[in-house]
Amino acid sequence: MLSQYSFLQIIYLFICKLRTFLINSKIRLIRFPIDIRNMSRIDFGKALTTGRGCRLEVVILENNLQEKKLLIFGSNIQLNDYVHITAAEKVILEDNVLIASKVYISDCSHGTYGKFDINDHPDTIPKDRKLYSMPVTIKKNVWIGEGVCVLMGVTIGEGSIIGSNAVVSKDIPSYSIAVGNPAKVIKKFDTNQQKWISV
Protein backbone atom coordinates (compact mmCIF):
# COMPACT_ATOMS: atom_id res chain seq x y z
CA MET A 1 0.00 0.00 0.00
CA LEU A 2 2.77 2.47 0.82
CA SER A 3 4.19 2.02 -2.68
CA GLN A 4 1.36 4.21 -4.04
CA TYR A 5 2.50 7.21 -1.97
CA SER A 6 5.47 9.54 -2.43
CA PHE A 7 7.95 10.12 0.38
CA LEU A 8 6.28 13.42 1.31
CA GLN A 9 2.85 11.80 1.29
CA ILE A 10 4.11 9.10 3.66
CA ILE A 11 5.39 11.79 6.04
CA TYR A 12 2.01 13.58 5.79
CA LEU A 13 0.15 10.33 6.57
CA PHE A 14 2.42 9.63 9.52
CA ILE A 15 1.70 13.09 10.97
CA CYS A 16 -2.04 12.61 10.35
CA LYS A 17 -1.95 9.22 12.07
CA LEU A 18 -0.21 10.72 15.11
CA ARG A 19 -2.70 13.59 15.34
CA THR A 20 -5.59 11.12 14.85
CA PHE A 21 -4.40 9.05 17.80
CA LEU A 22 -4.41 12.17 19.99
CA ILE A 23 -8.05 12.87 19.05
CA ASN A 24 -9.41 9.32 19.42
CA SER A 25 -7.45 6.07 19.36
CA LYS A 26 -10.39 4.14 17.81
CA ILE A 27 -10.26 6.22 14.61
CA ARG A 28 -8.09 4.68 11.86
CA LEU A 29 -7.01 7.90 10.14
CA ILE A 30 -8.08 11.53 9.86
CA ARG A 31 -6.52 13.41 6.97
CA PHE A 32 -6.08 17.03 8.01
CA PRO A 33 -7.38 19.68 7.76
CA ILE A 34 -10.73 18.69 9.29
CA ASP A 35 -13.48 20.70 11.00
CA ILE A 36 -15.11 18.86 13.93
CA ARG A 37 -17.77 20.80 15.83
CA ASN A 38 -19.09 19.61 19.21
CA MET A 39 -16.84 16.54 19.18
CA SER A 40 -18.19 15.26 22.52
CA ARG A 41 -21.56 14.65 20.82
CA ILE A 42 -20.04 12.44 18.09
CA ASP A 43 -19.52 8.67 18.38
CA PHE A 44 -16.64 7.98 15.98
CA GLY A 45 -17.18 4.21 16.01
CA LYS A 46 -14.19 2.02 15.18
CA ALA A 47 -11.70 2.39 12.31
CA LEU A 48 -13.16 5.57 10.75
CA THR A 49 -11.08 7.02 7.90
CA THR A 50 -11.57 10.54 6.51
CA GLY A 51 -10.23 12.47 3.55
CA ARG A 52 -9.08 16.09 3.66
CA GLY A 53 -11.40 19.00 4.33
CA CYS A 54 -14.24 17.09 5.98
CA ARG A 55 -16.70 18.89 8.24
CA LEU A 56 -18.44 16.88 10.95
CA GLU A 57 -20.81 18.90 13.10
CA VAL A 58 -23.47 18.54 15.75
CA VAL A 59 -25.89 21.43 16.14
CA ILE A 60 -26.83 21.97 19.78
CA LEU A 61 -30.51 22.86 20.23
CA GLU A 62 -32.79 23.04 23.27
CA ASN A 63 -34.57 19.84 22.25
CA ASN A 64 -31.38 17.75 21.91
CA LEU A 65 -29.54 18.70 25.10
CA GLN A 66 -30.31 15.34 26.75
CA GLU A 67 -29.00 13.25 23.84
CA LYS A 68 -25.37 12.32 24.40
CA LYS A 69 -24.45 11.39 20.82
CA LEU A 70 -26.20 12.81 17.76
CA LEU A 71 -23.75 11.82 15.03
CA ILE A 72 -23.01 8.10 15.22
CA PHE A 73 -20.53 6.20 13.07
CA GLY A 74 -20.43 2.39 12.93
CA SER A 75 -17.27 0.40 12.20
CA ASN A 76 -15.01 0.64 9.16
CA ILE A 77 -16.51 3.78 7.61
CA GLN A 78 -14.60 5.69 4.94
CA LEU A 79 -15.29 9.35 4.12
CA ASN A 80 -13.40 10.84 1.22
CA ASP A 81 -12.45 14.52 0.74
CA TYR A 82 -14.82 17.38 1.63
CA VAL A 83 -17.64 15.32 3.12
CA HIS A 84 -19.97 17.52 5.21
CA ILE A 85 -22.26 15.86 7.78
CA THR A 86 -24.59 17.87 10.04
CA ALA A 87 -26.64 16.35 12.89
CA ALA A 88 -29.26 18.25 14.91
CA GLU A 89 -31.45 15.26 15.85
CA LYS A 90 -29.68 12.03 14.83
CA VAL A 91 -27.49 10.92 11.94
CA ILE A 92 -26.42 7.26 11.99
CA LEU A 93 -23.99 5.66 9.57
CA GLU A 94 -23.88 1.90 10.09
CA ASP A 95 -20.89 -0.39 9.42
CA ASN A 96 -18.85 -0.42 6.20
CA VAL A 97 -20.34 2.72 4.62
CA LEU A 98 -18.22 4.19 1.81
CA ILE A 99 -18.75 7.87 0.96
CA ALA A 100 -17.10 9.56 -2.03
CA SER A 101 -15.94 13.20 -2.05
CA LYS A 102 -18.07 16.35 -1.77
CA VAL A 103 -21.06 14.57 -0.21
CA TYR A 104 -23.52 16.46 2.02
CA ILE A 105 -25.63 14.66 4.64
CA SER A 106 -27.93 16.59 6.97
CA ASP A 107 -30.87 15.81 9.24
CA CYS A 108 -31.96 19.47 9.43
CA SER A 109 -33.04 22.47 7.39
CA HIS A 110 -33.46 26.21 7.96
CA GLY A 111 -37.22 26.47 7.69
CA THR A 112 -39.67 24.09 6.09
CA TYR A 113 -41.41 24.51 2.78
CA GLY A 114 -44.56 22.40 2.86
CA LYS A 115 -43.15 19.59 5.00
CA PHE A 116 -45.02 19.16 8.33
CA ASP A 117 -47.72 21.36 6.71
CA ILE A 118 -45.56 24.39 7.59
CA ASN A 119 -44.56 26.98 5.01
CA ASP A 120 -41.85 29.44 5.91
CA HIS A 121 -42.26 32.75 4.12
CA PRO A 122 -39.57 33.56 1.51
CA ASP A 123 -39.28 37.15 2.81
CA THR A 124 -37.85 35.96 6.14
CA ILE A 125 -34.08 35.82 6.51
CA PRO A 126 -33.05 32.19 5.80
CA LYS A 127 -30.62 31.90 8.72
CA ASP A 128 -33.30 33.17 11.13
CA ARG A 129 -35.88 30.55 10.15
CA LYS A 130 -36.54 27.80 12.70
CA LEU A 131 -34.31 24.74 12.33
CA TYR A 132 -36.37 21.62 11.60
CA SER A 133 -34.94 18.12 11.80
CA MET A 134 -35.73 14.48 11.11
CA PRO A 135 -33.25 11.61 11.66
CA VAL A 136 -31.09 10.23 8.85
CA THR A 137 -29.97 6.59 8.79
CA ILE A 138 -27.54 5.08 6.33
CA LYS A 139 -27.56 1.30 6.72
CA LYS A 140 -24.55 -0.97 6.46
CA ASN A 141 -22.61 -1.61 3.23
CA VAL A 142 -23.99 1.50 1.49
CA TRP A 143 -21.87 3.24 -1.15
CA ILE A 144 -22.62 6.93 -1.76
CA GLY A 145 -21.16 8.44 -4.94
CA GLU A 146 -19.48 11.77 -5.61
CA GLY A 147 -21.45 14.98 -4.95
CA VAL A 148 -24.54 13.34 -3.43
CA CYS A 149 -26.90 15.26 -1.08
CA VAL A 150 -28.80 13.25 1.55
CA LEU A 151 -31.60 15.31 3.09
CA MET A 152 -33.42 15.11 6.42
CA GLY A 153 -35.72 12.22 7.26
CA VAL A 154 -34.07 9.78 4.83
CA THR A 155 -33.13 6.13 5.38
CA ILE A 156 -30.86 4.49 2.81
CA GLY A 157 -31.31 0.73 2.98
CA GLU A 158 -28.59 -1.87 3.44
CA GLY A 159 -26.29 -2.60 0.50
CA SER A 160 -27.63 0.23 -1.65
CA ILE A 161 -25.67 2.46 -4.04
CA ILE A 162 -26.40 6.14 -4.64
CA GLY A 163 -25.12 7.44 -7.98
CA SER A 164 -23.02 10.60 -8.31
CA ASN A 165 -24.76 13.97 -7.86
CA ALA A 166 -28.05 12.41 -6.72
CA VAL A 167 -30.29 14.28 -4.27
CA VAL A 168 -31.82 11.79 -1.84
CA SER A 169 -35.02 13.28 -0.43
CA LYS A 170 -36.94 10.03 0.21
CA ASP A 171 -36.10 6.59 1.59
CA ILE A 172 -34.16 4.21 -0.63
CA PRO A 173 -34.90 0.50 -0.12
CA SER A 174 -32.19 -2.04 0.60
CA TYR A 175 -30.17 -3.56 -2.28
CA SER A 176 -31.07 -0.78 -4.71
CA ILE A 177 -29.23 1.57 -7.04
CA ALA A 178 -30.68 5.09 -7.08
CA VAL A 179 -29.69 8.04 -9.28
CA GLY A 180 -30.92 11.52 -10.20
CA ASN A 181 -32.55 14.57 -8.64
CA PRO A 182 -34.68 13.56 -6.86
CA ALA A 183 -33.03 10.15 -6.51
CA LYS A 184 -35.04 7.28 -8.00
CA VAL A 185 -34.35 3.56 -7.90
CA ILE A 186 -33.24 2.22 -11.29
CA LYS A 187 -31.99 -1.24 -10.26
CA LYS A 188 -32.56 -3.77 -7.50
CA PHE A 189 -30.47 -6.79 -6.58
CA ASP A 190 -32.38 -10.03 -7.16
CA THR A 191 -31.22 -12.47 -4.46
CA ASN A 192 -32.65 -15.46 -6.37
CA GLN A 193 -30.80 -14.69 -9.59
CA GLN A 194 -27.84 -13.09 -7.76
CA LYS A 195 -27.74 -10.13 -10.15
CA TRP A 196 -28.88 -6.50 -10.53
CA ILE A 197 -32.21 -6.12 -12.36
CA SER A 198 -33.49 -2.89 -13.95
CA VAL A 199 -36.81 -1.61 -12.60
Q: Model confidence over 121-161: pLDDT tens digits?
A: 999 999 999 899 999 999 999 999 999 999 999 999 999 99
Tell me if 13 is assigned to some domain.
no
**What is the pLDDT, as a whole number, of residue 36?**
97
| Number of separate domains in the chain | 1
For the stretch 79-113, pLDDT in tens is: 999 999 999 999 999 999 999 999 999 999 998 88
What predicted TM-score, i.e. pTM, was given to this entire model?
Answer: 0.94
Tell me if 143 is assigned to some domain.
yes
pLDDT band at 115 (very low <50, low <70, confident <90, very high): confident
SS3 state of residue 197: strand
CATH of the domain at 125: 2.160.10.10
**What is the pLDDT, as a whole number, of residue 116?**
75
Burial 121-140 (b: 16+ CB within 10 A, else e): eeeeeeeeeeebbbbbbbbb
pLDDT band at 188 (very low <50, low <70, confident <90, very high): very high
Tell me if 4 is assigned to some domain.
no
Tell me if 40 is assigned to some domain.
yes
Domain housing 86? 27-198
List residues with catalytic annotation. Answer: 110
